[in-house]
Amino acid sequence: MFVSDCLSVNEKGHLAIGGVDTVDLAKEYGTPCYVMDEDRIRKNCRAYVKSIEDNYGGNGLAIYASKAFNCKYMCKLINEEGMGLDVVSGGELYTAIQAGFPTEKVYFHGNNKTLDELKFAVENGVGRIVVDNIYELENLSRIAGECGKTASVLLRIKPGIDAHTHSFIMTGQIDSKFGFALETGEAMDGIKRAIAAENIDFRGVHCHIGSQIFEVTPFEKAAEVMIGFMAQIKAETGVECAELDLGGGFGIKYSFEDNPLEYSAYMAKVATVIKAECEKQGIKLPFIVIEPGRSIAGSAGITLYTVGAVKTIPDIRTYVSIDGGMGDNPRYILYQSTYELVCANKADKPRDFTITLAGRCCESGDLIQEDAPVQRVEPGDIMAVLSTGAYNYSMSSNYNRIPKPPVVMVSGGETKVVVKRETYDDVIRNDM
């Protein structure tokens, strides 16, 4: 039902998540409020872990791209599920450390990690630093030396794949700020320098071709290109890459039309390509890393709002205003992302009304969806926006000094707050 199997309509005709009535949730925790189904998140984690076991003899690690949704509770959950963690900033790393996440299973990404962040990562024994450029490699080599440590690294390569996704989130192609380009020889030069660098343990290569991708072909193509490159590295340097990190980007269901593949189907196909290409190229099978973010958290989450003013402009549109907006979900204003809307207290009624869902910020573009179907809503109704578990809380802001909503987890019919609602005092806490 809906866009995720954790959603249903209960006997009262209300939307439920993980079997819990969302109208009750809105009453108990207030709105706006992010709600996530913990059991769904865990099932998603297990599907990835199992897919590596089933298709690749367990010779790999699924790491959660925590930029999708990060908090201490989520880090603990990911650790319990036996996954690693992808972090892209000192803040994400700090959260993981505070949650007791084993740092040897943390992969540190980013195209411009600061010197302080590199030092923080080295001091805390982060498992892999995914080096983006030569400047970073040189700094890391020096910092690791100063700390008396060796940094284990992967190099981020642009495999030149166009993954047919929104251009803002297309990163594998040559014109990208991320990583070393293959075509220009920059990548091979970087590898040679990494192999030669002091205090650096070169482990292998990484690529990430984009996000919200539905086809498997670009991933297969990326694996093929990367293994070809690994063979070239062996031929030119004699060094075999022990690890291949293929990034994340697996698509999820936002709209009823979206049709993502089972996660196991992705690994099954890519593992076949990896095995065939390694054999063809005469290189050892690498340890494989994958980095799902959105597909772990996205469809496990919804956002609940209270409907305020309903403004019908005859022959033009009906604006339905809610008590949240771009502050808690900037994805429509940034990417015109599609979302399905459900009036939580009328979920059993037909969605025969067309509305534009407007946020409360002083900004005309602060919309969550335009001309979208929903039940006939009126002030006081509870509006649910579906599939908001990824890149919503993590991209939220305090624009207009609006406090951020809480995150509530639902599991086995029980609920708990894992991130508190911000207060006005939180909003001014750094003001002098």
Catalogue the active-site residues: 362
Alpha helical stretches, state H, 283-418: 294-297, 331-335
Interface segment toward ligand LLP; rule CB under 6 A; list 136-144, 236-244, 292-300, 311-319 = 292-300
Residue type, 246: L
- The structure tokens listed for 1 are 């039902």
User: Cβ 52 to ligand LLP, closest distance in Å?
Assistant: 15
User: Cβ 207 to ligand LLP, closest distance in Å?
Assistant: 9
Interface segment toward ligand LLP; rule CB under 6 A; list 138-146, 185-193, 204-212, 265-273 = 204-212
- The structure tokens listed for 123 are 């001091």
Interface segment toward ligand LLP; rule CB under 6 A; list 208-216, 217-225, 276-284, 407-415 = 208-216
CA distance 220 to 196: 31
Residues facing residue 384 across a β-bridge: 304, 342
User: Cβ 149 to ligand LLP, closest distance in Å?
Assistant: 24
Q: Residue 276: phi, psi to the nearest 5?
A: -65, -45
Q: Which one of 60, 172, 292, 389 is in contact with ligand LLP (CB under 6 A)? A: 292
CA distance 392 to 167: 19
Which residue, 247, 411, 297, 296, is CA-closest to 48?
296
Q: Return the H-helix or E-strand segment holding 15.
A: strand 15-17
CA distance 46 to 194: 34
User: Cβ 297 to ligand LLP, closest distance in Å?
Assistant: 8
The answer to the question of residue 295 lying near ligand LLP (CB under 6 A) is yes
Size, binding site for ligand LLP by CB under 6 A = 20
Residue type, 139: N
The answer to the question of residue 291 lying near ligand LLP (CB under 6 A) is yes
Q: Which of residues 316-335 bind ligand LLP (CB under 6 A)?
A: 331, 335
The answer to the question of residue 260 lying near ligand LLP (CB under 6 A) is no
**Helix (H), strand (E) counts: the chain:** 12, 21
Q: What is the CA radius of gyration of the chain?
A: 23
The answer to the question of residue 113 lying near ligand LLP (CB under 6 A) is no
The answer to the question of residue 90 lying near ligand LLP (CB under 6 A) is no
User: Cβ 114 to ligand LLP, closest distance in Å?
Assistant: 18
DSSP state of 213: B
The answer to the question of residue 40 lying near ligand LLP (CB under 6 A) is no
Please list, residue by residue across 116-133, b when 16 or more beta carbons sit within 10 angstroms of its beta carbon and e when fewer do.
ebbbbbbeeebbbbbbbb
The answer to the question of residue 109 lying near ligand LLP (CB under 6 A) is yes
The answer to the question of residue 211 lying near ligand LLP (CB under 6 A) is yes
The contact set with ligand LLP (CB under 6 A) reads 65, 68, 86, 109, 169, 208, 211-212, 247-250, 291-295, 331, 335, 391
